[in-house]
Structure 1
Amino acid sequence: MATLLLQAAGAFLGGFLGPVGTAIGSAAGATAGYLVDRALINSTQHYTSGKLAGAVPFTAEDGAPIPRVYGAARIGGTMIWATRFEESRQTTRQGFKGGARVTTYSYFANVAFLLCEGEIAGLRRIWADGRELDQTLYEIRVYEGTEDQQPDPLIEAKQGTDNAPAYRGAAYVVFEHFPLSDYGNRIPQFQFEVLKPAGALHKQVRAVALIPGATEYGLSPDPITYAAQKGASEAVNRHVLTARSDLAASL
C-alpha cells in the first residue's frame, strides 16, 4: 500500500519538473514505499529456532544390576533420576530496527547416573556420544558410594528433604544444568572411566612426593598459557580435560 501511495505522490511532485521529474519522482516514491512496506511486514513476523515440540525421555531399566568394578574401567551409567528439561529462550531482531523477531530456544538437563557399587576412588574421564567432556565447563558432582554419603542438594531441592535418596553404597554422578544444544536437544549417551582400587593399600598412603620433571610449571595448580601465535594461546601445564591443570588432575 505504501509503495502505491508514495509512487503516486513522487510522480505528482516530480511533475512540476517535467516528464523527467515525473519519472524520477515515481521511482523514488516507489523505492521509499517498498522500504516502508518491508519494515511494516517484517515487524509483525516472528520466527522460532530450536523449539522442542516434545522430548523423548531417556529410558531407565527397573531392576537393572549394579556393576562391580575393580581397577580402572570404562562403563555406561544407568539413569536413576532426572527432571524435565529446563528451557531458555532469547529473542532478537534481524537486520535494522523493525526487522523480524527471532526467538532461539536452548535446553538444559538435570540428570543423575548410577555408576557401580561403591566405594570408588574417583571418576576420571567422561564421554558424551563418544567425545570426551571438558569437565571444567560443566557442573558435575561425583558421589563415591560411601555408606554415609548425603543426598545431592539438587535432588533434595527438587524432591524434598524427606524424599531424596542418598544412594548409600552406590557410586553415582549428577549433572546440573547440562546444555543439550550440541546433542540435538537430547541427553547424550554417557560413558565414565571409574577408578576403584582393590584392597586397602590406597588408604594407607599418607603423602606423595611430587617431582616436576621436565616441565617448568608442572607444580602450578592454575593453568599457565603462552601465545602460540597471534590471537591464539596454548596451555603448557594442562593436557587433560578432567581438571584445570595437570597437577589438579593428579591429586
Structure 2
Amino acid sequence: MAEDQDDGAGTDAETGAETGARSRVRVLVVDDHAVLATSLGQVLDAEPDLTTVGVAGTLAEARTMIRSTRPDVLLLDHRLPDGDGVAAIPELQALRPEVQVVVLTASAADHVLIAAIEAGASGFVSKTRSLGEVTGAVRAAASGEALISPEMLARLLPRLSRGSQRQHQELTEREREVLGLLAGGLTNAAIAAELVVSVHTVRNHIANLSAKLGAHSKLEALSIAVREGLLPDR
C-alpha cells in the first residue's frame, strides 16, 4: 500500500529513535514537594539527553513556565495546592499542544489513572518508583510511547467513558489496524514488526490518527476510540 511506503532512514530498529545528534528532551517538573522536585531536576540534568527547564510548585506557575520554557515533557503532580493536576491537563496542553504529560501520582487508584488517560496524559509514574525509573518514563513519553503495561491497559480500557460522538476525519483501514494493535498494548517497535514496516512508518500512522481524533497521546487516542466505538470488540 502506498501509505506504508517506508524510507526507514535515520531510525533505530529497536526504539525508532532518530540516530545521530539530537537535542535534549526539555522537561518541566510540576510538583509542590520541593525536595522531590529538586531531586528530579538533578537526576534529569545528569542525563546526557535530558534537561530540566524549570520547576513549578503550582498550576499557576506551570501555566507561566510552559509559555516561557516550551517543554517537551511535563512531569505533573496529581495533587497541587491550587488544583487537580490531572483535571488541568487539557488546559496545559492547550498552551503547548506538543507537550507530553507524565502524571506523578502517589495513588494507583483506577479512577485516577482513567482520568489521566481521558485527559490526554501519556501515562503515569508512581512516586514510590526510583528516581532512575522516572528518566525512562520521560524518554518513553518524549518518543511517543504509552506508559502503561498491557495488563493495566486491558483492565482500564473497558472502563473508559463511552457514547460521546463527534465529527472527525475518517480513519484509514491501516490507521484502524494500528489503533487496534495499540489497544493490545503493543509498542511502536512491536507494531512495526507485526505490520512488517519501520517504526518511522508506525509513528506516522499514530501521528495521523491522533491528529484526526484530536488526541495528544496514544492513551488519549485510545480513550477517544473507546468513547466513539472505533475499536472492535475485544
> What is the TM-score normalised by the length of structure 2?
0.28
> Which has more strand, going by share of residues?
1
Higher relative contact order (CA 8 A, sep 6+): 2
Larger radius of gyration: 1
For normalisation by structure 1, the TM-score amounts to 0.26
Q: Which has the higher helix share?
A: 2
